[in-house]
Amino acid sequence: MQVSVSGSAETDPMVVSVQGDLDASTSPVLRAELARLMAARNARVVLDLRGVPFLDSTGLGVLVGRLRSIRLAGGDLVLVIDNERVLRNFAITGLNKVFQIFDSRDEALTTLG
């Protein structure tokens, strides 16, 4: 399955939606697109992963790397996930304690205000 990433660097917080599996073959697309969107400025980002049915360790690595770079630049990154299978990957790895994860985009946007 292909992955698509859509968002606009013009909004604050920036909302980026991802559709498709995030695995070893598609994670480079996510990495490149997030870098492109965030190149213009330090951003507060809501990454909407509700369209992601599968996420492996490579995908998790991209998210951790992006979180680190955004925070070092003074921004923040929160996730929107409603898929139990994807949430389980965060719980198993302990990343649910590293990322702020919300059930809805509205909750995430309210948090970043």
* pLDDT digit string, tens, across residues 63-85: 999 999 889 888 899 999 999 99
Q: What is the pLDDT of residue 68?
A: 93
Q: State yes or no: pLDDT of 40 exceeds 70.
A: no
Q: For residue 41, what pLDDT band results from cuts at 50, 70 and 90?
A: low
Q: State yes or no: pLDDT of 107 exceeds 90.
A: yes
Angle CA 15–20–26, to nearest 5 = 95
- For residue 14, what are the contacts with CB-CB under 8 A and spacing of at least 6? 7, 8, 37, 38, 43, 44, 45, 46
* pLDDT digit string, tens, across residues 1-38: 688 888 877 778 889 999 999 999 999 999 998 888 87
Q: What is the pLDDT of residue 61?
A: 96
